[in-house]
Amino acid sequence: MLQRLFSLLLTLIGVVTLVFFLIHLIPGDPVEAMLGDSARVADREALRHKLGLDQPLAVQYSDYIKSILQLDLGTSLRNQQSVSSLLLERLPATAWLAFAALLIAVTIAVPLGVIAARRQGSAWDTGAMMVSLFGVSMPNFWLGPMLILLFSLWLGWTPVSGMESFWSIILPAVTLGASLAAVLARMVRSSLLETLGEDYVRTALAKGLDESTVVWRHALRNAMLPVITLLGLQLGALLGGAVITETVFSWPGIGSLMVEAIQQRDYPVVQGCVLLIALIYVLVNAGTDLVYRMVDPRIALTGEE
């Protein structure tokens, strides 16, 4: 656990450092974005001094690291609101979207992968993999507008954007979960095919156990280890995709907040958003080992069998 904690801290420090210097390389001046082009030079310099942007980059980085160590993410340059409060305000919307997308992905992927594995080489298998290929091939920035055109503008079944009601979550969740469902379905099929060839599965079938029982209660559980690994790794992609999806659907989450902050050159908010996403990603990957232990007790927490 100490090794994992140390690794987590190194990862977060690396993310903070990389984002800090990259964002300062982006063309544009936050002072100009706040005051406009018509502002006087004296006013710009006064605001730049007030925000500490006239300090050398090394000094700004040192001050930022000290603030993070004190659990202070800083203050928004745009509205002078605490970055922590902004993140807490937007986090529930992103968490709700990610949970809904993950639920949709698993609900689609597991049955689809099982059907493809049990009917290997059949039309069911081909159809399932074609659906999976279709899901992988559609980027979020294309699928989202297409779903809006079909279900919101033409059919009028769902809201176009925003977080107005429960039905507002449907299109963003489907958009975000489609590619994950496609990848998971292929992994479930591949892993289950390998598991179905094991001796204990053939023995259970030879003893007369029902095929569905053997597949769903025995083989699938052992086949889920690679799937859990993929879920942990894909969570980062899920959060990254949420940035695009939230922008397309005007979803008030962390992703749209980060895009707004980038457009406004609001450095502390961008850094806070990326740091939060990185923290969630690292924690989920660390928690994946604990899920391994629940699924297969033979695996130790150290990752050694």
**Per-residue pLDDT tens digits for 63-115:** 888 888 888 888 887 788 888 899 999 888 888 898 899 899 888 888 888 88
Q: Percentage of the chain with pLDDT > 70?
A: 89
Neighbours of 29 (CB within 10 A): 12
Place of tokens 């949420």: 242
Question: Any idea what the Cα angle at residue 261 is, between residues 249 and 89, rounded to 5°?
Answer: 70
- pLDDT (0 to 100) of residue 172: 92
**Are residues 54 and 48 in contact, defined by beta-carbon separation less than 8 angstroms?**
yes
**Are residues 270 and 259 in contact, defined by beta-carbon separation less than 8 angstroms?**
no
Model confidence band, residue 51 (pLDDT cutoffs 50, 70, 90) = confident
pTM, rounded to two decimals? 0.78
* Distance, CA of 104 to chain centre: 14
Model confidence band, residue 304 (pLDDT cutoffs 50, 70, 90) = very low
Model confidence band, residue 301 (pLDDT cutoffs 50, 70, 90) = very low
Q: List where CATH 1.10.3720.10 sits in the chain.
A: 89-300
Question: Any idea what the Cα angle at residue 43 is, between residues 37 and 44, rounded to 5°?
Answer: 55
- pLDDT (0 to 100) of residue 302: 47
Q: What is the mean pLDDT of residues 45-62?
A: 79
| Single-letter amino acid code for the residue at 144 | G
Rounded to whole angstroms, the Cα distance separating 234 from 246 reads 18
pLDDT tens digits for range 189-227: 888 888 877 777 777 777 777 777 777 777 777 777 777
**Are residues 199 and 126 in contact, defined by beta-carbon separation less than 8 angstroms?**
no
Euclidean distance between the first and the last CA atom of the chain, given in angstroms as a whole number: 17
pLDDT tens digits for range 28-40: 667 776 666 677 7
Fold adopted by 89-300: MetI-like fold (1.10.3720)
